[in-house]
């Protein structure tokens, strides 16, 4: 039986998400649990027709087994306030960290380590109540003081997550299990921020060593880490979710070469692989009757970011010229995604509830004549920002991590913009350095680069753009400074009405189309490919019994995964 689950936002889910936002229904009280299912029962996103490439399991979920996981890249570290997390980081981090909140199958934030999270009527304060009896791996309790200590780390100047916490005025413990979060403005989507890095809880006793030796509350306990080789975790025998997890051990191995990673799954050296490369997904589909394939197409788009403080890409004419010189259809074909992934026209994909079809006419399209006009205007400008003489060609460096697929896409960029006379140097840099250069150093976080291969977009509420593009934010990688942009985003943050928010985000996308802080090379399909005897990636259940989003952006949840051997 072929197992090919393509997870895209369905219209019903989108409608429910929008409807809830429209009425301001972000009151996330602890819901009454659904009818209890047997541990490990298929109560998540799994479809009855999608059990496994080889059919039904021989038995019920049971404890035991070790799996090896191939990651697309190594991570810089594991301190959520210090280290930038990409999809590989989250796939690993979700083994030893639990979040305060997680998403249900409709994409709405729901309590996880929290038992409830309730906003005030005007969304300027939230009250978070924790579950009883949860402990960190070092035996320390997850109580209100621990949550306050974690959130205060994200409030510190220089924290990579400080942008998401910028509206927070204070965090305080009201009693042993109750935390009060005061904001300086209405914020209808604040709960969404506690799903990811900011919501990952670390034992305060391990703060100083968390980047190298993380201590969380998650289903697995960190054992060891040999950078660029292996990170090992073992089953948390005292996990607060009774009967979970099932696996005894997980070995995470960074394997940047996409072909090597895929072939290691085929050969049995790996039981799980993660990829965001269409070419590898196409190869995996050819053997879909032998392996389980969990696909996802979301708002995540491939592309490039431009350091708007660094000549020559500080000039909008250069960025617009590049955007018009690029042919997304050709770039998608280079990546092997033709017929699999659509071109991107802004930060939302066509299945997103926030997608605006008008952007297809507004986003800069392939137009070599217009691209040439723009670059010629810059080249002949006696006051051009790069200081070169009029008539001299435009040059910049394009940074990529050491991935053959990225080298192919960079070469395609190089050829396409070369048609209008831009000379682009391709520079290989390891993933950790790649990210850190984009972040830069405090206090300005300008970044040390010109152009970098990057992914653009998030699955969360569009409010993610506030911390990403706030001036001075560590995650404002393009260093865009626009009062108009921030005004639109902050207005949307305070607006619960659906159509008003839609219009505001339309204006945001239109501004991106004009300023071009990034260019796009098509939406990204992601894949978790697994051994046919591995079950549970599509059976993810939240603590209160609701179905959860099991593997967005190739970030699987490990609690319900088990090996039938």
Per-residue HEC secondary structure of 477-500 comes to CCCCCCHHHHHHHHHHHCCCCHHH
Mean local confidence (pLDDT), 335-351: 88
Tell me if 143 is assigned to some domain: yes
Give pTM, 2 decimals: 0.75
Mean local confidence (pLDDT), 208-224: 98
pLDDT at 15: 35
Mean local confidence (pLDDT), 363-376: 98
The domain total for the chain is: 3
Tell me if 223 is assigned to some domain: yes
Mean local confidence (pLDDT), 445-450: 94
Q: Is the pLDDT of residue 526 over 70?
A: yes
Q: Which of 153, 175, 204 is the endpoint of a domain?
A: 204
Question: Is the domain of 414 the same as that of 499?
Answer: yes
pLDDT at 554: 79
Structure tokens at 46: 């799994």
Query: How wide is the angle at C-alpha 229 spanned by C-alphas 223 and 235, nearest 5°?
Result: 25
Tell me if 18 is assigned to some domain: no
Mean local confidence (pLDDT), 37-58: 42
Question: Is the domain of 491 the same as that of 552?
Answer: no
CB 398 within 8 A of CB 429: no
Helix (H) or strand (E) holding 87: helix 87-96
Question: Is the domain of 543 the same as that of 563?
Answer: yes
Question: Is the domain of 287 the same as that of 344?
Answer: no
Q: Which of 178, 204, 230 is the endpoint of a domain?
A: 204
Question: Is the domain of 310 the same as that of 417?
Answer: yes
Structure tokens at 206: 């391990």
- 463 or 524, which is more confident? 463
- 350 or 18, which is more confident? 350
pLDDT at 84: 87
Question: Is the domain of 319 the same as that of 176?
Answer: no
Q: Which of 170, 204, 238 is the endpoint of a domain?
A: 204
pLDDT at 52: 57
pLDDT at 53: 63
Q: Is the pLDDT of residue 520 over 90?
A: yes
Question: Is the domain of 181 the same as that of 233?
Answer: no
Q: What is the pLDDT of residues 159-171, one digit of tens each?
A: 989 888 989 999 9
Helix axes 483-493, 498-515, angle to 10 degrees: 160
pLDDT at 432: 84
Question: Is the domain of 280 the same as that of 338?
Answer: no
Question: Is the domain of 126 the same as that of 258?
Answer: no
pLDDT at 55: 67
Question: Is the domain of 227 the same as that of 166?
Answer: no
Q: Is the pLDDT of residue 477 over 50?
A: yes
CATH of the domain at 158: 3.90.76.10
Q: Is the pLDDT of residue 49 over 50?
A: no
Q: Is the pLDDT of residue 224 over 80?
A: yes
Question: Is the domain of 55 the same as that of 124?
Answer: no
DSSP assigned state of 231: E
Question: Is the domain of 157 the same as that of 90?
Answer: no
Tell me if 12 is assigned to some domain: no
Structure tokens at 378: 């810059």
Q: Where are the alpha helices (DSSP H) in 27-172?
A: 87-96, 144-155, 162-165
Q: Identify the domain containing residue 391 by its residue range.
A: 298-524
Tell me if 173 is assigned to some domain: yes
pLDDT at 474: 85
Tell me if 558 is assigned to some domain: yes
Tell me if 26 is assigned to some domain: no
Helix (H) or strand (E) holding 101: strand 101-103
Among 208-212, 276-280, 514-518, whose mean pLDDT is lowest? 276-280
């Amino acid at each position: 039986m072929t197992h090919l689950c393509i997870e895209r936002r369905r219209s019903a889910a989108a409608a429910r998400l929008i409807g809830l936002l429209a009425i301001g229904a972000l009151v996330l009280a602890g819901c009454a649990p659904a009818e209890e299912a047997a541990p490990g029962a298929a109560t998540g996103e799994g479809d009855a027709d999608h059990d496994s490439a080889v059919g039904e399991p021989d038995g019920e979920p049971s404890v035991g087994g070790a799996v090896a996981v191939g990651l697309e890249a190594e991570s810089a570290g594991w301190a959520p306030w210090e280290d930038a997390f990409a999809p590989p980081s989250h796939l690993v981090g979700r083994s030893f960290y639990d979040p305060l909140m997680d998403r249900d199958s409709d994409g709405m934030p729901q309590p996880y380590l929290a038992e409830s999270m309730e906003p005030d009527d005007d969304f300027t304060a939230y009250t978070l109540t924790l579950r009883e009896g949860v402990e960190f791996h070092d035996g320390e309790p997850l109580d209100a003081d621990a949550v306050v200590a974690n959130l205060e780390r994200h409030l510190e100047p220089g924290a990579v997550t400080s942008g998401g916490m910028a509206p927070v005025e204070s965090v305080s413990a009201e009693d042993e299990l109750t935390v009060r979060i005061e904001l300086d403005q209405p914020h209808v989507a604040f709960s969404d921020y506690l799903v990811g890095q900011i919501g990952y809880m670390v034992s305060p006793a391990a703060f100083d060593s968390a980047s190298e030796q993380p201590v969380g509350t998650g289903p697995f306990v960190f054992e060891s880490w040999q950078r660029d080789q292996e990170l090992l975790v073992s089953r948390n025998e005292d996990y607060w979710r009774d009967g979970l997890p099932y696996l005894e051990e997980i070995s995470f191995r960074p394997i940047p070469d996409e072909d090597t990673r895929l072939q290691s799954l085929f050969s049995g050296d790996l039981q799980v692989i993660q990829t965001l490369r269409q070419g590898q997904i196409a190869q995996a589909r050819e053997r879909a009757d032998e392996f389980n394939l969990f696909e996802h197409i979301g708002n995540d788009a491939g592309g490039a970011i431009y350091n708007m403080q660094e000549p020559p890409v500080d000039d909008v004419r250069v960025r617009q010229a590049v955007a018009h010189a690029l042919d997304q259809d050709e770039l998608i074909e280079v990546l092997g995604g033709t017929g699999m992934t659509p071109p991107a026209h802004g930060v939302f994909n066509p299945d997103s509830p926030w997608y605006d079809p008008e952007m297809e006419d507004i986003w800069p399209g392939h137009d070599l004549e217009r691209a040439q006009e723009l670059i010629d205007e810059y080249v002949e400008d006696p006051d051009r920002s790069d200081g070169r003489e009029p008539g001299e060609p435009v040059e910049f460096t394009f940074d990529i991590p050491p991935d053959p697929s990225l080298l192919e896409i960079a070469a395609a960029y190089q050829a396409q913009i070369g048609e209008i006379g831009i000379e682009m140097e391709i520079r290989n840099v390891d993933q950790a350095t790649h990210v850190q250069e984009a972040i830069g150093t405090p206090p300005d976080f300008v970044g040390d680069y010109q152009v970098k291969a990057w992914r653009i977009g998030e699955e969360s509420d569009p409010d993610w753009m506030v911390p990403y593009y706030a001036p001075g934010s560590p995650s404002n990688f393009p260093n865009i400074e626009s009062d108009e942009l921030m005004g639109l985003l902050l207005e949307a943050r305070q607006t619960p009405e659906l159509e008003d928010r839609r219009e505001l985000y339309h204006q945001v996308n239109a501004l991106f189309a004009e300023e071009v802080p990034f260019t796009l090379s098509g939406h990204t399909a992601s894949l978790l490919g697994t051994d046919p005897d591995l079950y549970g990636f599509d059976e993810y259940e939240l603590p209160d019994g609701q179905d959860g989003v099991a593997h967005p952006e190739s970030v699987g949840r490990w609690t319900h995964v088990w090996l039938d051997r």
